[in-house]
Structure 1
Amino acid sequence: MKTIRLLALEWSETEARLAVASRRGDEVVIEHAFTVALRPDGGGGLEHSDRARQDQGDKAPSESGATQGPTEVGRRIAAALAARGIRKIDTLVAIGRASIELRQLTLPPAPDDELPEMVRFQALREFNALQEDWPLDFIPIDEDSGGPRNVLAAAIAPDLVEQIQRTCQASGLRLRRLILRPCGAASLFCRRQAEGLPKARLLVDLLADEADLTVMIDRKVIFLRTARLPGEPLSDAESGQALLGEIRRTMAAVHNQLGGRRVESIALCGRGPEHAALSERLAERLGAPVELFDPFAGLALEGELARSLPEHPARFAPLLGMLVDELQHAPHAVDFLHPRRKPEPPSRIKQYALAAAGVAAAVIAMVVYGVVEHGRLSDEAVALEAKVKEWESRAADAARLQKTAAEIQAWLGGDQVWLDEFVWLSERLPPPQEVMLTQIQASSTPRGGEMKIEGLARSVESIKAMQERLRDSEHRLVGKEAGEGGSQKEYPLRFSSSVYIGAEPRK
């Protein structure tokens, strides 16, 4: 059996972290975990944010004026790998929260297979910088229970993806996955738990100059942010105080977004007396239990790594989680190279081919049977003629069934394509400064379809303009209610209308 070997990689402005693992039978073995120093005065890193990402709606950062480009970073990484005899290996790259745009979106009720297109449609309206060509993936926060769907959507700029690809090419690496870093650490942490718990847990992962703060419920990431720190919280009192403040902000944000639920426990990535002392201080100040999470505990280690861990082992939690997931064929929460997509519709070619082959086989069998029997049993010509008429009758019945099936298929093909109708609606609505929709309800009818819309408007003229623009040869607008009572100062009027598609509404 061929051994699968993978590299997990992350780099910032000052250093690159690398881990190599392989799967041998059912066991994942960590072979290497080490850092590569980059120029400390900037450049080459994936992240150039100079402030904490305070909530789910922050903008993704743009590249700064880096002097150390992908080629130089790739050269340093390639040299470190070559010194360990590693070349041309499939690579998983971790991308930090500060390098992407992330938002929580609320969508109408929908099954899981319709979420990818709905998430992109909604993200294009709510994200700050998202364009059509941006890779976008998402984490469903809740299950399909018939109610509104909540997702954590993440997008990354194509030029940043290109920069990462150039760095991997300069390193002689094959880019296989592009994974959101906090999700890798969260996956590794959840694997250590005996079972999924319905309580909210916060994972704190201290990196070189920042901390990933990730909240999970029942093994699923539901909130994450990354905070810049002024120093090392393990030894610097000011940085420890800053970390405490960031944890409190995260717990407050979760409390607001989850309808009053609270973070009930905290896990700090790390090991040793310094991390233990920090966990005790956090538990005392926050009034919540804090446990230590050693990312290397329980993993099979090899060679020098088994004798001596890297200087900051806790910083490798995301890389280890990514490697274990990939080698055990577990799906990644967010992968910008392989985002969630709408399933391809099942092909009917095979069904049609089998049906045609069945009909052809029946006809051939009938002809052969008739010829053989007629030549061999001429004295039974009358009986054979009756048999032929019977087969012809069955063939006619089969033709009628095929015609009926074709008519049913044509009728099914006439169902409304709601994504197209939503696009039509968004293009026809007045500018958001004039009209804002608060609810859309779509349903199919025997004569077409109906979209019930509710919303707020700035003025009566805005409502009239909307009513004029939502009428054409295929759409008819029926205003049901309009008047004062808007819930926002900028939109004092409210309205309720129905757009009928394809035919007049029934009286």
Structure 2
Amino acid sequence: MTEWLIVESTRESITLLEAGISPAGVEVTACARASLLENFAADPEVLAEQLVTLRGRSTVKQVLLVVPRDVVVLRQFELPSVPDNELPDLVRFQAATKFATPVDELTLDFIPLASRAEGMGRTVIAASIDIALLERWQKACELCGLQLVGCTPSSIALAELVGRELGPSHRERTPTLVIYGDEQRLELLLLDQGCPLFSTNVHVRVEGQSIERLLDRELKRAAVTLNQVEPGAEIAQAVLCGQNTAAAAWLDVVFADRWSLCHPLETSGETLQIRCDTSLISLPALGMALAQSQPHVPGLDFLRPRRRVEQRDWSRWKLIAGVVAAVLVLLVAYGSYLSYLGGLEDDVLALKKRQADLQQTLTAGAPGEESARLIEDWEQTRSDPLQFLIQLKESSPETDRLYFRSLKLIPQAGGVQMRVNGSGNARQRSDVEQMYRQLEENGFRVRAKAIDRLNRDPDYPFVFELDADLQRPVASAATPSARS
């Protein structure tokens, strides 16, 4: 429950209510009233002194102010059919042309009326109050440690109270005239379809006319206002709040049995509990308290007016979101690219390692491979010694001319098939030379040695040495080289 101080100011007095307000209802715990001094409305310090006196020992800080109807200007504006969010700007434009006081010196609020027909425009009740008046009250509240939170005219605050008494069926369907005041001052309010449509006040002493004539005049004004909004409609009933015998007599004449008395202080229940002297309670102040709970009638608040709800510009955030999304896409693409490069680098490293392993395997097996190749070459190129001896015999003179004492055959590789080393004896030098020539003609390469003459064997006196290589045929010799 929220604690509030509701202050109502009139020309004659100031009333203060202390109330606890929740969605379930209102509980009035204290009430005080004081008469006004001559300079009350002009001096914030005097206002502060009065508030301190009326407040007493209360610790409540937040204040709601109810001001007299005569300090507020109400006008009916016809506006184009626009969304509700555009109404505050249009109301301010209209106020600049239809209010006598510059709008910079005023605080504005308005009540939008229900649309009568589609495409027929919008009707609003615009209200204004002097900024200087609000600033004096705000200064006074600050001087006594209070905070002024809301401000509304007395007739609009009273509409909440009467609207609850009428109930939703009468409040929303029947145009109702509400009269409130005493023998010196009266306020008139017209409710139509649950909204305040017309409001005025009359001071009997100031006007100098009879109360009946004043009420007749204001009733005509209210009827004209109603017909402007709802052609052909009539004020069907009336409600009197407070004790005014002259107003009651006038209602008997004009409305006969179509008017009633409103006694909200006598019918308090779960939504309204009063725990103080009811004779000091102001009905507009009580209506202001009820409006903070669960309002039944649209109201005015000059400190919390209806304003244009600024639509948040999402274009910048959309641009930022687009840039962030693009950056994220680029980062993801770049990450994928780096991952792909990383995979390629891993593949390259794996291939290099495999190459190194294969090279190591090849290097380790090279000696064995070379040995196998040499053995294979030797196997393919080796010569049969017996065949070689036959070839050597055919290339040498007969044994009656020379003979060998020793003979050594050495198999070779490459272009040489067999090396022959030997020594022997010959009858004549020419026999040795003839053997050299025959060997050369048969594919041997002979390295000539000295031929000596010795007398050890008189029949074969010449001693010779044989050092020759049997050349491999060209086709056979090229085969190992090509294979290597």
TM-score (norm 1): 0.60
Is 2:260 the partner of 1:287?
no
Counterpart of 1:227? 202
Counterpart of 1:361? 328
Q: Distance in 1 between the 2:123 and 2:341 partners?
A: 71
> Residues 211 and 275 of structure 1: is their aligned pair in 2 closer, same or farther, counting only changes over 3 Å?
closer
Shift of 1:98: 0.8
Counterpart of 1:412? none
Q: Alignment partner for residue 112 of structure 2, among 140, 150, 155?
A: 140
Unaligned runs of 5+ in 1: 46-65, 232-237, 382-507
Q: Distance in 1 between the 2:71 and 2:246 partners?
A: 31
Q: Distance in 1 between the 2:179 and 2:151 partners?
A: 22
Deviations 1:247-303 (A, max 9, x none): 534444435534332111111124xxx569964762344336112222333343254
C-alpha RMSD of the superposition: 3.1
Letter in 2 for 1:21: A
Within a 5 Å distance, the mapping from 1:243-262 to structure 2 comes to 244-245=215-216, 248-258=219-229, 259-262=231-234
Partner SS for 2:329: helix
> Residues 369 and 222 of structure 1: is their aligned pair in 2 closer, same or farther, counting only changes over 3 Å?
same
Q: Distance in 2 between the 1:170 and 1:379 partners?
A: 80
> Residues 310 and 377 of structure 1: is their aligned pair in 2 closer, same or farther, counting only changes over 3 Å?
farther
Deviations 1:108-167 (A, max 9, x none): 332222221111112211212233342111112232832222221111222222222233
> Residues 260 and 28 of structure 1: is their aligned pair in 2 closer, same or farther, counting only changes over 3 Å?
same
Counterpart of 2:470? none
Shift of 1:103: 1.5
Letter in 1 for 2:323: A
Q: Alignment partner for residue 178 of structure 2, among 203, 224, 238?
A: 203
Asked if the contact 2:138/2:148 (under 8 Å) is kept, the reply is yes
Letter in 2 for 1:287: A
> Residues 74 and 295 of structure 1: is their aligned pair in 2 closer, same or farther, counting only changes over 3 Å?
farther
Q: Distance in 2 between the 1:158 and 1:371 partners?
A: 67
Q: Alignment partner for residue 140 of structure 2, among 167, 185, 188?
A: 167
Within a 5 Å distance, the mapping from 1:3-82 to structure 2 comes to 3-23=1-21, 26-39=24-37, 42-45=38-41, 69-82=43-56
Counterpart of 2:123? 150
Counterpart of 2:193? 218
Q: Distance in 1 between the 2:22 and 2:341 partners?
A: 68
Q: Distance in 1 between the 2:22 and 2:123 partners?
A: 39
Partner SS for 2:106: coil
Deviations 1:391-435 (A, max 9, x none): xxxxxxxxxxxxxxxxxxxxxxxxxxxxxxxxxxxxxxxxxxxxx
Asked if the contact 2:25/2:293 (under 8 Å) is kept, the reply is no
State the percentage of identical aligned residues: 23
> Residues 288 and 169 of structure 1: is their aligned pair in 2 closer, same or farther, counting only changes over 3 Å?
farther
Letter in 2 for 1:182: S
Q: Distance in 1 between the 2:347 and 2:181 partners?
A: 93
Of structures 1 and 2, the larger Rg is shown by 2
Asked if the contact 1:201/1:217 (under 8 Å) is kept, the reply is yes
Is 2:148 the partner of 1:182?
no
> Residues 268 and 246 of structure 1: is their aligned pair in 2 closer, same or farther, counting only changes over 3 Å?
farther
Unaligned runs of 5+ in 2: 349-484
Letter in 1 for 2:185: E
> Residues 295 and 331 of structure 1: is their aligned pair in 2 closer, same or farther, counting only changes over 3 Å?
closer
Deviations 1:347-404 (A, max 9, x none): 21333333332222222222222322432366999xxxxxxxxxxxxxxxxxxxxxxx
Asked if the contact 2:159/2:297 (under 8 Å) is kept, the reply is no
Bigger RCO (CA 8 Å, 6+ sep): 2
Shift of 1:176: 0.3
Partner SS for 2:156: helix
Letter in 2 for 1:71: E
Asked if the contact 1:279/1:291 (under 8 Å) is kept, the reply is no
Q: Distance in 2 between the 1:338 and 1:246 partners?
A: 33
> Residues 255 and 373 of structure 1: is their aligned pair in 2 closer, same or farther, counting only changes over 3 Å?
closer
Counterpart of 1:100? 72
Asked if the contact 1:374/1:380 (under 8 Å) is kept, the reply is no
Aligned residues: 338
Q: Distance in 2 between the 1:239 and 1:323 partners?
A: 34
Counterpart of 2:451? none
Letter in 2 for 1:265: Q
TM-score (norm 2): 0.62
Q: Distance in 1 between the 2:234 and 2:177 partners?
A: 10
Shift of 1:91: 0.7
